Structure 1
Amino acid sequence: MDPLPARRGAAEPDDDEVGRRFAAGDEQALAWAYERWAGQVHGMAVRAFGPGPDAEDVTQQTFVSAWTGRAGYRPDKGPLPAWLVGVARHKIADTWARRDRQRRETEAAMSEVQAGPSGPVTAGVDTQVADRVLVLDELELLGQPQRGIIELAFFEDLTHAQIAARTGLPLGTVKSHIRRTLERLRTRLEVDGAALHA
């Protein structure tokens, strides 16, 4: 009697088998992939951004994106960890682009505030500029996943359902995070607005 099937059942599959099962949609393969290669992906993200929320987000986004886009992985074209590294590189590039966009938006808003009125500028425009600065400041204070959810909703124009799919969070959780964050932003704007007009 061949004992090999019993041994194979008791032990975890090798990397190639994990890749094949991942491509086939086996959720256990996703767990194995995360266990084996999340450290490598996180290391790449830490080298890009330093330890902290951005590195953690990139790690999570890499595996969520890899899983939702697993139809694009071909086990016969290369090993799964190499493909995951490619996905991570894209997520790192996306995060750098988002950071750069936010920096430029903040600088532009600050320039408008510092320049002051250069002609017949209405109070409404000044208020909008101040509001933009306050919103960008408040986003900097948000923790994850709230900050990422708000950025997906307002910077990338994703629907609640698309955000849930992108982040792997339940739809109800996404909606409640957005609602609570918007309430917090509204309160901050009202408080700061009252201070400005006092």
Structure 2
Amino acid sequence: MSLEGLSDEALLALVARGEEEALRWLFRRYAGAFLGLARRMGLDANAQEDVVQEAFVRVWKNARQFDPRRASARAWLLAVGHHTAVDFVRRLEARPKPLEPQGEEAEEAFDLPGDGLDEEGHLDRIRLQGALRHLDPEEQEVIQILYYQGHSHQEAARLLGIPLGTLKTRVRRALLRLKEVLREP
């Protein structure tokens, strides 16, 4: 029996019964989305792959918890992917890393050759860190909390003690400024 045409809900039901082929089909459908979530949280390629693997282990183990009356399969799967990526980022936070470049990296931060992308087409971390210095302290803080620490918008607003709308305005302003700075030669 081919599982290709089955809905995500049907595939999750089969996964809950231990059908590995159903998990393979879900992987084909959602691995890219999980990679994208991890990439947006600033994880490198290896960490992104770890997030995808960990997320699908969670899907395999917790498929029985899916309740189609509470959410669509897509929403449930994306929530698993998101929570896995956030947990991964939080575990990394236990091992602090400097946000500012050190030594030679600091000297190169503003005069990198090319368009600031590495061989995989990702923004160069050093160039991004340099661009972050162009933001107001409040904007730096929201970017740090959302994208480096992996908090949700609601969590970030609560941590900063500001209304959610204010947080979203700061994020929007910060991202627009980063876009401008990174486009500059």
TM-score, scaled relative to structure 2: 0.46
Q: Which has the higher helix share?
A: 1
TM-score, scaled relative to structure 1: 0.43
